[in-house]
Amino acid sequence: MTELSGLQPATLLVHGGIERSQHAETSEALFLTSGFVYESAEEAAATFDGSLTRYQYSRFGNPTVAMLEQRLALIEGAEACRVTASGMAAVHAALLCHLKAGDRVVASRALFGSCHWIVSTLLPRFGIASEFVDGTDLEQWRAALARPAALVLLESPSNPMLEILDLAAIAALARAAGAITVVDNVFATPLGQKPLALGADVVVYSCTKHIDGQGRTLGGAVLGRKDWITDTLQPFLRNTGPALSPFNAWLLLKGLETLQLRLDAASRSAAALADLLAGRAEVERVWYPFRPDHPQVALARAQMRDGGTLVSFALRGGRPAAFAFMNALRLTAISNNLGDAKSMVTHPATTTHMRIGAEERARLGIGDGVVRLSVGLEDVADLAADLERGLTAAGQAAAGAL
């Protein structure tokens, strides 16, 4: 793939990682096979003793899956990548392959629900201590990393309040404590933020979100240095088996071809809709990373390419206003998913963040009036009209509640 070096991301998204078969097909070939055959017993033996590198079983590797891994690595600027059947399989593998009993993990509190569960509930069962900090407070990171740690896990922008964490500063503290830094880069996307260049060691994705971006498949990815991927992650993946289906890998390769176009369009609309929401009386507050009123706007502008496709906002009137808003929408779907071609809204307090409880929600600033909007590819004027409909209903509900 050396002939691809120096090319821009939009080009890599289309050409990166292609391995054509003997038929010289245009589109990436779909190798829908679980296994592979050998020319001879000697070839099989050489494959197993490692003297010959070739495909042997799709839990270990598959040509379609390998094209996706190669393309993702090129876009990320990572030495190596392995993909998994879901984003959570990627996070789980990245953590468990590196950790052992007696280790200590420090994580930002505002994590995706299942990531929070792994750190708070699963890891301690295996003798791995975990500690949460407020991700935007460097003093808390400094205090938690004053003692040795094995791994730091964080997410920026965070879900759903779009907090921005200082990736370079946290990665430096982690390194000094002996920890690797794993960044869940789902909200920022591989084009929007480069954690490895900022000092992180490992980046994880749910490819289910923007990378597919069309609601068709789950998928996950782990990226990092070649030695860590080959020596630490790969044995874990090969032997525990969260392998991505070749068909789903093929869907994700097709998704990547349009990633930049989709992200540019959706981010432009998201910035415009954030401004619209901020100007309305029904809205108490808007969180969008590139807006001047975002608490970490300078940091966001320094470490992200654009403000992203997600906007969160608090409606006056709490839950009745939020529900009235969502129920009045005709175009924007109610869904906990995000990063899709179709715009979606969710009420975190009663869905994605219901289980963490009122106290933890209050700590994270997830009020009952907060709505998270994932902006899709519809015409921005149609989306604006849809939001206006929702805001009118929210205003009426808020007035009724008084």
Ligand X SMILES: *Cc1c(COP(=O)(O)O)cnc(C)c1O
Interface residue list for ligand X (CB under 6 A)? 86-88, 91, 112, 115, 155, 159, 184, 186-187, 206, 208-209, 218, 220
In sequence order, the β-bridge partners of residue 202 are: 182, 224
- Token code pair at residue 163: 């907090």
Shortest Å distance, C-beta 338 to ligand X: 6
Shortest Å distance, C-beta 218 to ligand X: 5
Shortest Å distance, C-beta 382 to ligand X: 25
Comparing CB distances to ligand X, the nearer of 174 and 221 is: 221
Comparing CB distances to ligand X, the nearer of 70 and 86 is: 86
Comparing CB distances to ligand X, the nearer of 135 and 318 is: 135
Comparing CB distances to ligand X, the nearer of 140 and 335 is: 335
Comparing CB distances to ligand X, the nearer of 154 and 398 is: 154
Cα dihedral 209, 214, 219, 220, rounded to 10, equals -30
- What is the 3 state secondary structure string of 360-399? HHHHHCCCCCEEEEECCCCCHHHHHHHHHHHHHHHHHHHH
Strand pairing class (370-374; 310-315): antiparallel
Residues 196, 244, 10, 377, CA torsion sign: negative
Distance CA 388, CA 279 (A): 11
Residues 156, 216, 213, 322, CA torsion sign: negative
Report the Cα 351 to chain-centroid distance in Å. Answer: 19
Comparing CB distances to ligand X, the nearer of 112 and 282 is: 112
Shortest Å distance, C-beta 301 to ligand X: 21
Distance CA 324, CA 392 (A): 9
SS3 content of the chain, % helix, strand, coil (to 5): 45, 15, 40
Name the residue among 402, 369, 392, 372 with its Cα closest to residue 281. 392
Helix, strand or coil, per DSSP, at residue 153: strand
Comparing CB distances to ligand X, the nearer of 115 and 259 is: 115
Shortest Å distance, C-beta 206 to ligand X: 3
Shortest Å distance, C-beta 334 to ligand X: 17
Shortest Å distance, C-beta 6 to ligand X: 31
Distance CA 249, CA 240 (A): 19
Distance CA 400, CA 324 (A): 11
Comparing CB distances to ligand X, the nearer of 80 and 91 is: 91
Q: What is the DSSP letter of 311?
A: E
Comparing CB distances to ligand X, the nearer of 91 and 397 is: 91
Distance CA 109, CA 107 (A): 6
Instruction: For tokens 């830094």, name the residue.
Output: 181
Comparing CB distances to ligand X, the nearer of 186 and 276 is: 186
Shortest Å distance, C-beta 336 to ligand X: 9
Where does residue 298 rank: exposed (0-12), middle (13-18), buried (19+ CB within 10 A)? Answer: exposed
Name the residue number minimizing CB distance to ligand X: 87
Shortest Å distance, C-beta 91 to ligand X: 6
Shortest Å distance, C-beta 14 to ligand X: 24
Task: Measure Cα distances from 204 to 41, 83, 225 in Å.
Answer: 39, 9, 13
